Amino acid sequence: MADLANAPELEVREGVDRETVETVQNMGSYKYGWDTEIEMEYAPKGINEDIVRLISQKNEEPEWMTDWRLKAFRRWQDMKQPEWAMLTIPDIDFQDVYYYARPKSMAVKPKSLDEVDPKLLATYSKLGIPLKEQMILAGVEGAGESPAEARKVAVDAVFDSVSIGTTFKDELAKAGVIFCSISEAIKEHPELVKQYLGSVVPAGDNFYSALNAAVFSDGSFVYIPPGVKCPMELSTYFRINAENTGQFERTLIIADKGAYVSYLEGCTAPKRDTAQLHAAVVEIVILEDAEVKYSTVQNWFPGDEEGKGGIYNFVTKRADCRGDRAKIMWTQVETGSAITWKYPSCILRGDESQGEFYSIAIANNMQQADTGTKMLHLGKNTRSRIVSKGISAGKAQNTYRGQVSMHPKATNSRNYTQCDSLLIGSECGAHTVPYIEVKNNSSRVEHEATTSKVDDDQLFYCRARGMDEEEAVALVVNGFCREVLQALPMEFAMEAQSLVAISLEGSVG
């Protein structure tokens, strides 16, 4: 069991009580308390200007921030939910959601095993996520099959609406790296926040980004100074715990000239019968010669077999390669969420800047995913590469939606897109919607797409060697996704592989 004594680097924010920290830290050893019972402090349900002000006040924000939020809120009120995605979204009553929830103190009731859905237990024990959480929070890595020595990963853990702590702060500070919650950054580094917040994803960019701008409660902030290679990987760990609560986190990452950082994001949420809203915004600014790697393993609860519950995930993620030779690489594994609406995108503004997008999206049962990327080539000699692997099983619908646009000044630019879909069973769907726009004569865009079914001969071959059907599917699918799995940092690769297996459970036979 991890305790504070074993994790001396964890710097806990003021005002967060010890029990809350321990609860989160012990989520690992506390295997069966997936739905952590914690006494919460809520803002009243619903959204209006008072709620926006209340959130701002809870975060002790300066006036400029409150005004920024209110402006966004007013924009949002006039906006409509986007309808172009291939998604069937049930009516969401935005006034029936808690926009702020903070753990007050811990009140864990030891539960007997009988109370927990055995399927859920099996899922988490297979995934080994509890252990992972514990390790991540303790800041060590290197167990499992990776023979590597312990690698340090700094973590900012966000629990419902608040960041509860950040690890390795001192070590990062020595390198000049700022890694903290965004609420802290607003107070401590207002000049950076003012300069960059909303500069990649403007508040009014879309319905959900406006909503997020109005009510985002916390999130992570990263600044890597010029020429600094961040001494360790940074990560944010999001967890939605409270019921009926939306999570609206906001991440702002700035890589100054010549800087480098690899950033990991993990998310889980307990199983609930009612759907939950998640509308996050991630903005990444990359200056000259800087490079950012951003990896997500998204494992929100996807809803049950009938499509009940699960997270509605409406996320705007965008990186702006603002300087020449700037580079961004997105890697995502999307297995959770009832509904996913998400397009981590790259603006290739600087000359010779590069954008890469590697994605695995798995949709099983009643899940719906509409995900992809945008590559906006604005600068000369810019390069982009898209590798998307979509897997559909059960009755799920999985859409790849990608936009590649070569602007008139983006001469001699290149894009290569590889978009593969795999179908398991006969009731699911895979769709590919590429938008390609080329406005100059010297650029080249390539799009390759394939759709295939899990091959019966492959499955039989595996089974004849002793694997059961689900194991066989997992193996074949892992092979199908290999290119993307390999792009993940080691921290995530193993977890992602087991996730592939778990999220496809029940998809055959």
Partner 1 sequence: MLEIKNLHAELEDGSKQILKGVDLTVPAGQVHAIMGPNGSGKSTLSYVLSGRDGYEVTEGAASLNGEDLLAMEPEERAAAGLFLAFQYPVEIPGVGNLTFLRTAVNAQRKARGEEELSSGDFLKLVREKAKTLNIDAEMLKRPVNVGFSGGEKKRNEILQMAMLEPKMCILDETDSGLDVDAMRLVSEGVNALRAPDRSFLVITHYQRLLDHIRPDVVHIMYNGRIIKTGGPELALEVEKNGYADLLAEVAE
Q: What is the binding site for partner 1 (CB under 8 A)?
A: 145, 455-458, 460-469, 471, 475-476, 478-483
CB of 163 to partner 1, least distance (A): 37
CB of 468 to partner 1, least distance (A): 5
Distance of CA 355 to the CA centre of its chain: 18
> Nearer Cβ to partner 1, position 304 or 469?
469
Among the listed residues 390, 383, 482, the one whose alpha carbon sits nearest the alpha carbon of residue 434: 390
SS3 258: coil
> Nearer Cβ to partner 1, position 306 or 456?
456
> Nearer Cβ to partner 1, position 145 or 191?
145
CB of 464 to partner 1, least distance (A): 5
Distance of CA 462 to the CA centre of its chain: 33
CB of 127 to partner 1, least distance (A): 17
CB of 491 to partner 1, least distance (A): 18
CB of 501 to partner 1, least distance (A): 11
Compute the residue count for the chain. Answer: 509
Whether 165 and 11 have beta carbons less than 8 Å apart is answered as: yes
SS3 78: coil
> Nearer Cβ to partner 1, position 5 or 464?
464
Rg (the chain; Cα; Å): 22
CB atoms within 10 A of CB 383: 18
Half-sphere exposure of 191 (CA within 13 A, CB side): 0
> Nearer Cβ to partner 1, position 467 or 490?
467
> Nearer Cβ to partner 1, position 64 or 460?
460
CB of 24 to partner 1, least distance (A): 32
Element spanning 20, H or E: helix 18-25
> Nearer Cβ to partner 1, position 213 or 481?
481
Half-sphere exposure of 46 (CA within 13 A, CB side): 5
> What is the tally of helices (H) and strands (E) in the chain?
13, 24
> Nearer Cβ to partner 1, position 11 or 468?
468
At 15, give phi and psi (nearest 5°). Answer: 90, -5
Q: Which long-range contacts (CB under 8 A, 24 or more apart) does 78-81 make?
A: 79/204, 79/206, 79/207, 79/210, 80/207, 81/207
What is the distance between the alpha carbons of residues 420 and 401, in angstroms, rounded to a whole number? 12
Helix axes 490-503, 118-127, angle to 10 degrees: 150
> Nearer Cβ to partner 1, position 18 or 463?
463
At 33, give phi and psi (nearest 5°). Answer: -95, 50
CB of 458 to partner 1, least distance (A): 5
CB of 476 to partner 1, least distance (A): 6
